[in-house]
């Protein structure tokens, strides 16, 4: 395990992997971010939001904030912000203070490498959002992620079978759903007193 406590955040690996090198592990972590926020998957997220009654503009900004934090600021979104303050005088006591001119030159490079690409990414998200908004039958969009958990999904989806706890969680949801359906069926099968009087010709 890493001896540097500063690495115990949400973007550093602090333990070794039994089968991967540190470089490979980091590479897979990077790929997960880039795959999830690929243009095609962003459109899928926007479609799901619209079909679920969520404003696409709100989701688009959330997507921008999360991915831009990682891709351009190189920190987790929970540690990021619109403009990160970095003060020249604030540094660890064991690290010598950086030359003021060098510090500002580095901050300029950081700014140019972060905000122009970030704004370009925001424009791309907005373009994707407009494309999705103009799709026909958008409100009727559905996919597996929007479907109710069904018994056949529980048997087939890897998500529900990856671990024992996942299987148990899926089984609990299915059991509650089955119990609710049986209760609804019993309620529907109880005759209404008014219906009984009408059937018998009573008033």
**Mind listing the pLDDT tens digit for each residue in 97-133?**
888 888 889 889 888 888 899 999 999 999 999 999 9
Instruction: Report the mean per-residue pLDDT for the chain.
Output: 81
- Cα separation of the two ends of the chain: 81
Question: Alpha carbon of 51 to those of 17, 31, 55, 141, 176: distances in Å?
Answer: 40, 28, 10, 6, 25
**pLDDT confidence tier of residue 17, bands split at 50, 70 and 90:** confident
> How does pLDDT run across 161-183, given as a tens digit for each residue?
778 888 888 788 778 777 877 77
Cβ(90)–Cβ(84) below 8 Å = no
**pLDDT confidence tier of residue 60, bands split at 50, 70 and 90:** very high
| Total-model pTM | 0.68
**Which residue has better confidence, 11 or 131?**
131
């Amino acid at each position: 395990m890493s001896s540097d406590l500063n690495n115990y955040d949400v973007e550093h690996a602090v333990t070794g992997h039994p089968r991967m090198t540190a470089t490979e592990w980091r590479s897979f972590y990077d790929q997960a971010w880039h795959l999830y926020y690929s243009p095609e998957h962003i459109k899928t997220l926007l479609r799901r939001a619209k079909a679920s009654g969520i404003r696409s503009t709100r989701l688009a900004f959330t997507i921008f904030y999360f991915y831009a934090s990682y891709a351009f600021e190189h920190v987790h979104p929970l540690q990021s912000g619109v403009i990160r303050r970095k003060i020249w005088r604030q540094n660890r006591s064991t690290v010598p203070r950086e030359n003021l001119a060098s510090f500002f030159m580095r901050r300029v490079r950081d700014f140019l490498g972060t905000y122009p690409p970030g704004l370009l990414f925001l424009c791309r998200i907005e373009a994707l959002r407009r494309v999705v908004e103009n799709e026909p039958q958008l409100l009727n969009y559905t996919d597996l992620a929007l479907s109710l958990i069904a018994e056949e999904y529980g048997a087939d989806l890897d998500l529900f079978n990856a671990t024992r706890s996942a299987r148990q969680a899926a089984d609990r949801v299915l059991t509650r759903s089955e119990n609710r359906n049986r209760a609804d069926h019993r309620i529907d099968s109880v005759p209404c007193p008014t219906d009984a009087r009408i059937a018998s010709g009573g008033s």
